[in-house]
């Protein structure tokens, strides 16, 4: 199949590109390189430098005749969305609609969307949360992800275009950006390696469901199947708090580093944990990477970047 993947030069997107190419698909990366890196690009992929909000998206889809749209391009920082909701909405909502309109117009068969289980549920009532859990996002970023899901349901209902929304847990692994605010594993690992002091937000007891990027990429391949439709959580069903992340990384990288806490951040939920039972039952997906090994592989990647 011919697959367009937005954000294909980014952290998660580039791993999905690799998985698609390994599975024998033709891949075209759409990226404006605002955060994506050219060194992440698979040499067997074709690259179109374009912004997802651009009017040129229409002509591109007309000429390329894609079978699948995989939409990973996004403003990914929850705190940026809290500080500038309008900026977040322009990219994460209007950019999505721009892509979906072109997909409908030029008969894309399926849209796969990178959503966020870590933010769309808000403060959970049950742990782990399944896909029927109430959605009460606490940040504009989470609101934008949920809004995209609603638009995809609208397009599926009115134009019969299939979609899958993958509600990711906290994805970690090689190629994650260690210089932004998204991705505590990458940020802490990089700071410990270069001798900079990591700061834990608040009491550090906030928990997340950490899922390794290769497991996420494998899920993106599985949902290409015709029977895969609707919403799926992609997580491990396990909670790990920030203090534990820091402790494990410190032990591996720099045992002398102090544990220092800073202010809690706005828009940051306390606990997040996702059930993957639905995608396991329907497609046989389950997480394969052990967290301790995943941390070691992530640290090894950042060590090579020094």
Q: Is residue 43 domain-resident?
A: yes
Number of domains in the chain: 1
Assess if residue 194 is contained within a domain: no
Q: Is residue 178 part of a domain?
A: no
285 domain-assigned: no
Q: What is the CATH number of the domain that holds 220?
A: 3.40.50.720
Catalytic residues: 141
**Mind listing the pLDDT tens digit for each residue in 122-143?**
999 999 999 999 999 999 999 9
What domain range is 52 assigned to?
2-169+211-235
- pLDDT tens by residue, 137-194: 999 999 999 999 999 999 999 999 999 999 999 999 999 988 765 689 999 999 999 9
Q: What is the pLDDT of residue 77?
A: 85
Domain assignment present for 128: yes
For residue 182, the model assigns a pLDDT of: 67
The string of DSSP codes covering the chain is -EEEEETTTSHHHHHHHHHHHHTT-EEEEEE--SS--GGG--TTSEEEE--TTSTHHHHHHHHH--SEEEE------HHHHHH-HHHHHIIIIIHHHHHHHHHHHTT-SEEEEEEEHHHHS-S-SSSSB-TTS----SSHHHHHHHHHHHHHHHHHHHH--EEEEEEE-EEESTT--SSSSS-HHHHHHHHHHHTPPP-EETTS--EE-EEEHHHHHHHHHHTTSTT--EEEEES-S--EEHHHHHHHHHHHH-TT----EE---TT--S---B--HHHHHHH-------HHHHHHHHHHHHHHH-
Q: Give tens-digit pLDDT for 47-64.
A: 999 999 999 999 999 999
Q: Note whether residue 276 is domain-resident.
A: no
In a domain, 14, yes or no: yes
């Amino acid at each position: 199949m011919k697959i367009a993947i937005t954000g294909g030069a980014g952290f998660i997107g580039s791993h999905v590109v690799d998985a698609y190419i390994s599975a024998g698909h033709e891949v075209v990366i759409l990226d404006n390189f605002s955060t994506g890196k050219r060194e992440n690009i698979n040499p067997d992929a074709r690259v179109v430098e374009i912004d997802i909000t651009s009017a040129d998206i229409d002509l591109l889809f007309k000429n390329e005749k894609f079978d699948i749209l995989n939409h990973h391009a996004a403003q990914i920082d929850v705190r940026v969305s809290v500080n500038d909701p309008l900026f977040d909405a322009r990219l994460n909502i209007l950019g999505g609609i721009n892509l979906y309109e072109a997909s409908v117009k030029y008969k894309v068969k399926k849209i796969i969307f990178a959503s966020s289980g870590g933010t769309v549920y808000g403060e959970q009532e049950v742990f782990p949360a399944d896909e029927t859990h109430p959605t009460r996002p606490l940040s504009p970023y989470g609101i934008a992800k949920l809004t995209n899901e609603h638009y995809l349901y609208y397009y599926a209902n009115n134009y019969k275009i299939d979609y899958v929304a993958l509600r990711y847990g906290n994805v970690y692994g090689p190629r994650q950006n260690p210089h932004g605010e998204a991705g505590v594993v990458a940020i802490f690992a990089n700071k410990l390696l270069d001798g900079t002091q990591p700061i834990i937000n608040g009491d550090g007891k906030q928990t997340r469901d950490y899922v390794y990027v290769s497991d996420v990429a494998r899920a993106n391949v599985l949902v290409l199947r015709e029977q895969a439709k609707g919403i799926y959580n992609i997580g491990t069903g396990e909670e790990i708090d920030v203090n534990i992340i820091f402790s494990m990384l410190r032990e591996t990288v720099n045992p002398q580093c102090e544990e220092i806490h800073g202010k809690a951040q706005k828009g940051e939920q306390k606990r997040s944990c996702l059930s993957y039972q639905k995608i396991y039952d329907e497609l046989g997906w389950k997480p394969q990477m052990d967290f301790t090994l995943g941390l070691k592989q992530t640290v090894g990647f950042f060590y090579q970047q020094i």
